[in-house]
Amino acid sequence: MSVVTRRATLGALAMPFVARAAHAATGRVVVIGGGFGGASVARALHAGAPSLQVTLVEAQSTYIACPFSNHVIAGLRPIEAQIFDLSGVGRAGVTVVQAMATGVDPVAKTVSLQGRPTLSYDRLVLSPGVDLNDAALPGYSEAAAQIMPHAWKAGAQTLLLRAQLEAMPDGGVVVMSAPANPYRCPPGPYERASLIAHYLKTRKPRSKLILLDAKDAFSKQKLFQQAWAALYPGLLEWVSLSDGGKVTSVDPANMTLTTDFNVQKADVANVIPPQRAGAIAALAGVADRSGWCPVDPITFASKLQPDIHVIGDAAIAGAMPKSAFAANAQAKVCAAAIIRALDGATPGEPRLLNTCYSLVAPGYGISVAGVYRPVAGVLTDIDGAGGSSPLDAPPDMRAAEAGYGEAWFRAITAEAFG
């Protein structure tokens, strides 16, 4: 007796478990984007219901991780430590297709691919990450990024910014610009400022770093500012929104950044522009006017296209930040919800965690954590849980958190990529 027949027979008994199983056996789930969210959801779907047909579509042949790429910029880590591929996801039982997804038809339930046959799905998951919204920053463009790198997608941009810092003479001025919320990795610009300051302090101590910010407040602010005052006094200057920090245009030909009050000249300029969900989200009709994707906080199903789920940076996930940890946590909740839905069952209310470590100097780590639950349709912080590392922690706790950050990177990349 074949497995299929046996399941069908049991299904006829209308046992809830078996009915689900028979259903799951015919499900086709396509995942677009093989980063932290997409690789994790593909693996979790296969592990949760091996009978599902799971196909992961990723445009790039290798994945270059952003977490710890600030360490690469500061010369603390080789870029090789950031490079992953999807062969482990393939070995785990997921069909991996290397192609750019160019369109989604939510009615026919198909995904068109560049140079490959169209895929059909019962459920689609999008985890396309972010696109840089250059149009929102006059003067910025892909060409401008070759002169004023963003380094907000890791790879050539990371190495370009590192090379520019290395080529800059001592006494130079580095200018960074941080965008308004929301954007990928809320503490990322401040970790980067810290590690660039560390590089300047140890290699080019007469230089200066100016961080122009479109915000008055940021993640782990007190901890960062405490560390900056202790480690980088006079070297790192943060200019808040109220102090005129918002960059309104950039001019790569003259190496200037314009704010409401000032024109700032730079020897090295790191421009982190505004962002939005990866382009495929808008093509699939799951992005709203904000450029991001509203989702149900229990299933991560799009509020605009219910058979399409959106996770990771592209999703509007309430209080959850756009982090690799969050993308991975959402992936596992989304996978469980999809399996349930394909089985005709209703998923229960989830709870999700986030943890983000930042390094402010070698051996000096800080963290922020959160626990989230849906409240009135929005993922909301649970009061009294989470929060930042204590301000008055002794040096051995900072050292421990620096070590935990590295351990986290090994864990999350192992879980996503195998």
Partner 1 sequence: MRLALFLTGLVLPGLFLPGLCWAMEAPPGASSCSGCHTGASGAGMVSITGRDSSELTATMEAFRSGARPATLMNRLVRGFDPDEVKAIAAWLAVQK
* Sites of contact with partner 1 (CB under 8 A): 3, 6, 10, 15-18, 20-21, 24, 44, 47-51, 325, 328-329, 332-333, 335-336, 339-340, 348-353, 355, 367, 369, 371, 373, 382, 384-387, 389, 397, 400-401, 403-404, 406-408, 410-412, 414-415
Residue 51 is a binding residue for ligand FAD (CB under 6 A):
no
CA distance 77 to 58: 26
Q: Are 288 and 294 in contact (CB under 8 A)?
A: yes
Residue 25 is a binding residue for ligand FAD (CB under 6 A):
no
User: Which sign does the torsion angle of CA 137, 32, 407, 383 carry?
Assistant: positive
Stretch that binds ligand FAD, among 23-31, 78-86, 180-188, 396-404 (CB under 6 A): 180-188
Distances, alpha carbon 110 to alpha carbons 41, 308, 388, in Å: 19, 11, 43
The runs of H, that is alpha helices, within 63-184 are: 69-73, 87-91, 156-167
CA distance 97 to 337: 24
Residue 312 is a binding residue for ligand FAD (CB under 6 A):
yes
Number of shown-chain residues binding ligand FAD (CB under 6 A): 38
109 — alpha (psi -120 to 50), left (phi > 0) or beta? left
Residues 6+ apart with CB under 8 A from 265: 173, 254, 255, 256
Residue 185 is a binding residue for ligand FAD (CB under 6 A):
yes
Q: Cβ 180 to partner 1, closest distance in Å?
A: 27
**70 touches, from ligand FAD, partner 1, none (C-beta below 5 to 8 Å by class):** ligand FAD
Residue 278 is a binding residue for ligand FAD (CB under 6 A):
yes
**406 touches, from partner 1, ligand FAD, none (C-beta below 5 to 8 Å by class):** partner 1
CA distance 195 to 200: 9
Q: Looking at 74, 280, 337, 339, which residue binds ligand FAD (CB under 6 A)?
A: 280
From the list 204, 195, 213, 224, the residue with the least C-alpha distance to 267 is 204
Which residues within the stretch 336-395 sit at the binding site for ligand FAD (CB under 6 A)?
A: 356-357
Contact positions toward ligand FAD, by CB under 6 A? Answer: 32-38, 57-60, 63, 66-67, 69-70, 100-101, 127-129, 152, 184-185, 188, 192, 278, 280, 312-314, 322-325, 327, 356-357
